[in-house]
Amino acid sequence: MMLASDKMHPSLIIAFVMCAASISGVSGRSQQGLGAYYGRRKPSNKPNIVLVLTDDQDYQLGSMKYMPKTLRHLAKEGATFTNSFVSTPMCCPSRSSLLTGLYTHNHNVYTNNDNCSSTEWQQTHETRTFATYLNNAGYRTGYFGKYLNEYNGTYIPPGWREWVGLIRNSRYYNYTINFNGKKIHHAWDYHKDYFTDLIANDSMSFLKLSKQYFPNRPVMMVLSMPAPHGTEDSAPQYAHLFPNATDYMDLLSYDYAPNPDKQWMLQQVGKMEPIHHEFTRMLHRKRLQTLQSVDDAVEKIVEELKLLGELDNTYIIYTSDHGYHLGHFGLVKGKSMPYEFDIRVPMYIRGPGIPKGVSIPNIVGNIDVAPTILDMAGIEVPDHMDGRSFKKLFHGGTEDSNIIDGTMKMKKAWRDTFLVSRGKVTNKMLKDLVRLENKGEFSKEARLAKECSKPEYASPCIMHQQFECILDEGGRWRKHKCRHGSMKTGVCVCRSKKAEQEEVRSERSKQRAFLEQHVSKGKGKSKEFNPMFIKPPRQRLPRNLEKRQRHLKKKQKKKKKEKRRKLARENRESRLGNYQNSVTAASNETIVGWQPPVTNRTFTAAAQPDAGCITYPNNSVECDPHIFSDVEVWKKHKQTIDWRIRFYKQELDQLKDIRQHLKDQRPALSRYEDDGQPCVCDSEGRTTDDVVEADDYIDIMLGGNSKYGVVRGRDKQRAKWSRAGRKGRHPPFRYRDKKDFDIFKQNYRYNRRGLKKDNKKAMMSREELNAEVRRQKKRQRKNSKSKDFCNLKNINCFSHDNDHWRTPPLWTLGPFCSCQQSNNNTYWCIRTINETHNFLYCEFITGFLSFYNLTNDPYQLVNQLQDVDESILQVMHATLNKLRKCQGSRECTIRYRPPAVTGEREIMQNDRSSHRKKDRGSKSSRSRSAWGRGDRSGDERRGGSGGQKRHSRYRRRRQ
Q: What are phi and psi of 350, to 5 degrees?
A: -135, 155
- Please list, in sequence order, all residues whose beta carbon lies within 8 angstroms of the beta carbon of residue 391, skipping any fewer than 6 positions away: 353, 372, 375, 376
Q: Are 700 and 731 in contact (CB under 8 A)?
A: yes
- Looking only at the bridges linking them, the beta strands covering 84-85 and 364-365 are parallel
Distances (CA, A) of 327 to 334, 340, 726: 9, 14, 65
3-state secondary structure of 228: coil
Q: What are phi and psi of 660, to 5 degrees?
A: -65, -40
- Write the single-letter amino acid at 947: G
Q: What are phi and psi of 349, to 5 degrees?
A: -150, 135
Q: Are 266 and 330 in contact (CB under 8 A)?
A: yes
Where does 85-239 have alpha helices with state H?
Answer: 91-100, 104-107, 119-120, 130-136, 190-193, 195-213
Q: Any bridge partners for residue 403, and if so which?
A: 408
| Residue 747 to residue 307: CA distance in whole angstroms | 74
| Residue 366 to residue 352: CA distance in whole angstroms | 21
Rounded to 5°, angle at Cα 862 from 857 and 865? 105
- Write the single-letter amino acid at 785: K
Distances (CA, A) of 548 to 554, 561, 595, 782: 10, 20, 56, 54
| Residue 78 to residue 503: CA distance in whole angstroms | 93
Question: Quick one: which H or E segment has residue 871?
Answer: helix 870-885
DSSP code, position 41: S
Q: What are phi and psi of 23, to 5 degrees?
A: -70, -40
Nearest to 205 by CA among 7, 2, 19: 19
Strands (E), 383-513: 403-404, 407-408, 417-422, 467-471, 477-481
- Write the single-letter amino acid at 580: Q
Q: Helix, strand, coil proportions of the chain in percent (round to 5)?
A: 45, 15, 45
Radius of gyration of the chain (CA): 39
| Residue 348 to residue 672: CA distance in whole angstroms | 84
Distances (CA, A) of 517 to 155, 503, 522: 103, 21, 10
Nearest to 267 by CA among 177, 331, 343, 181: 331
Q: Looking at 91, 819, 829, 886, which residue is catalytic? A: 91
| Residue 410 to residue 478: CA distance in whole angstroms | 44
Q: Are 812 and 399 in contact (CB under 8 A)?
A: no
- Please list, in sequence order, all residues whose beta carbon lies within 8 angstroms of the beta carbon of residue 805, skipping any fewer than 6 positions away: 231, 232, 233, 286, 811
Q: Is 91 among the catalytic positions?
A: yes
Query: Which string of b and e fits 924-941 if b means at least 16 CB within 10 Å?
Result: bbeeeebbbbebeeeeeb
Q: Are 861 and 445 in contact (CB under 8 A)?
A: no
Cα–chain-centroid distance for residue 371? 29
State the catalytic residues.
Answer: 91
